Amino acid sequence: MSKPPFLIPVENQVRELDAKLLLACFAADRGHPSYIGYKAAIDGHINSFPRGTYFAKSVTERSVKILRIAHMLGHRNVAWDEEALVHYPPEIYYKRRLSADALVETDQLLAWGQDNKTLFEDHYGFPGTPIKVVGNPRIDLLRPEFQPFYDDEVSALRERFGDYILFNTNFGSVNGFYPELNVCYENADAPDGLELGRSAIGLSRDYALAMFEFRKNNFETMKDLVSNVARSFPDKTIVLRPHPAENRDVWREHVAAFDNVEVNAEGNVVPWLLAASVLIHNACTTAIESYILDRPVVAYVPEPGAGLYGSDLPNVISHIATTRQDAIDLIGQATNGAGLPARDAGRSTVLGEFLEALDGPFAAERIVGSIEEAPAPPAPAIVRRALGDVHARKRRFNKWLQTRNDSGRYGRTFKRQRFPDLSPAVLKAKADRLCRLAGLETPVQIAEVRTDIFEVTPGAGT
């Protein structure tokens, strides 16, 4: 008899899928089947799965309903915060990313590192939920053991683009896929003609407007830098990868005049980081990933203040350029053979406070172990489970209604930007490579059980 399944939702495929698939592989090695797929699909069919462990990617106010339904259906709720590694100052972070009601509906919290653990514990509504400092499977894939996972993609990228310069942008709050995603957007009926958007959740109006201005300035200066780097390095290809929530057409229009610039957000960012000669960013989490991969990183910081509106960590562990010429000089150093050192002891010490499992057992392995050590939740009463089933069906219908408008965050176009079509064969090939590199002896089988939902099970002979 198989063990209780893991329910593993994925919102942004290029960022989350490979790491969460690794978690499913470790689960299969211990006898747990997993259901992995697009978050909206997993959540929409939460009442269709056997009782198991539901992995929430956040514990915000918006998470409360699905966590409560999962509990009513008898699932164990385990949560980490995908955004907790690079986070706002605590007083802002709590308003945006932690809900006392969501914490009550969570059976176990998984922390990236000690900084994240402290954030959880210091929240005014923290109910004493067990916290396991285990790291995150996304970091597992940056460790030397898993870098060969990307060898074919790295070779293909280098053959396609040569020794390219990579820009990773993080301006979804001012260049959103649609205007309402921004911190604020134009609305003639709103005060000052500006309406607060989804990126302003938990923020006062004054703070939101100041942050919008700050990030908009950074967005414009980054656009200026991209243009000048394209002119300064005419023989190099510049690849620009916007955040999944950004409007890519704005970037395509901006760089249309440059033959050596390509806007491309295909696939997981890790092979792009490994294949690039240097990464340029502004307060972007990919800087941390690139640093762990031992690749050169340049933070373009023409205006100080990132710590007021987010986290300084990505900039602190990078080579800092405060002017356009500083950035061009550092890029030149990274690409002309002189080299740009990727790591040093001081920056590594800083990073260690934020990240666990940079060595030793993998985060995915630690997570499976932490769940198996916890007592199984009791089966819900029949009436409670039936009520959970009713709430799940009602929620699924309401979400379906929201998808009828293709212009919003629930629309099909935005969905496919965040979760492109995926086949069982592609997923199986990825899983086989991950199992081999992790040293797992249990093969896995993968089948698509619903649109965008895949079952990962221990294979034959286990």
How far apart, in whole angstroms, are the C-alpha atoms of residue 335 and residue 232?
Answer: 12
Homologous superfamily of domain range 150-352: Glycogen Phosphorylase B; (3.40.50.2000)
How far apart, in whole angstroms, are the C-alpha atoms of residue 379 and residue 191?
Answer: 51
Q: Is the pLDDT of residue 376 over 70?
A: yes
AA identity, residue 100: A
Pair 212, 223: CB distance under 8 Å: no
Pair 70, 46: CB distance under 8 Å: yes
Q: Please, what is the average pLDDT of the chain?
A: 92
Query: Would you state the torsion angle of the CA atoms of residues 169, 170, 176, 181, taken in this order, to the nearest 10 degrees?
Result: 170
pLDDT at 209: 92
Q: Is the pLDDT of residue 421 over 90?
A: no
- pLDDT tens column, 306-333: 778 888 999 999 999 999 999 999 999 9
pLDDT at 403: 74
Tell me, what DSSP letter sits at residue 341?
Answer: -
How far apart, in whole angstroms, are the C-alpha atoms of residue 181 and residue 246?
Answer: 9
How far apart, in whole angstroms, are the C-alpha atoms of residue 356 and residue 84?
Answer: 13
- pLDDT tens column, 163-190: 999 999 999 999 998 888 899 998 888 8
- pLDDT tens column, 225-266: 999 999 999 999 999 999 988 999 999 999 999 999 999 999
pLDDT at 338: 65
How far apart, in whole angstroms, are the C-alpha atoms of residue 337 and residue 144?
Answer: 24
In the chain, the N- to C-terminal Cα span, in Å, equals 12
| Banded model confidence at residue 414, pLDDT cuts 50, 70, 90 | low
Q: Is the pLDDT of residue 278 over 70?
A: yes
263: phi then psi, degrees, rounded to nearest 5: -90, 120
Cα distances (Å, whole numbers) of residue 36 to 11, 84, 113, 377: 11, 22, 25, 21
Whole-prediction pTM: 0.88
Total Cβ atoms within 10 A of residue 230? 20
pLDDT at 343: 87
338 vs 115 pLDDT, higher one: 115
Q: Is the pLDDT of residue 457 over 80?
A: yes
Average pLDDT value for residue range 199-205 = 89
449 vs 412 pLDDT, higher one: 449
Long-range contacts, stretch 184-192, CB < 8 angstroms, 24+ apart: 184/208, 184/209, 184/212
Q: Is the pLDDT of residue 404 over 80?
A: no
Pair 139, 255: CB distance under 8 Å: no
How far apart, in whole angstroms, are the C-alpha atoms of residue 399 and residue 407?
Answer: 14
Element holding 78 (H helix, E strand): strand 76-79
In the chain, residues under CATH classification 3.40.50.2000 are 150-352
Long-range contacts, stretch 139-142, CB < 8 angstroms, 24+ apart: 139/112, 139/292, 139/355, 139/357, 139/358, 139/363, 140/19, 140/22, 140/357, 140/362, 140/363, 140/364, 141/18, 141/19, 141/22, 141/270, 142/270, 142/289, 142/292, 142/293
Q: Is the pLDDT of residue 461 over 60?
A: no
Average pLDDT value for residue range 102-119 = 97
3-state helix, strand, coil split of the chain in percent (to 5) is 50, 15, 35
Burial group, residue 152, by CB count within 10 angstroms (0-12, 13-18, 19+): exposed
The strand pair at 6-10 and 278-281 is best described as unpaired
| Banded model confidence at residue 402, pLDDT cuts 50, 70, 90 | confident
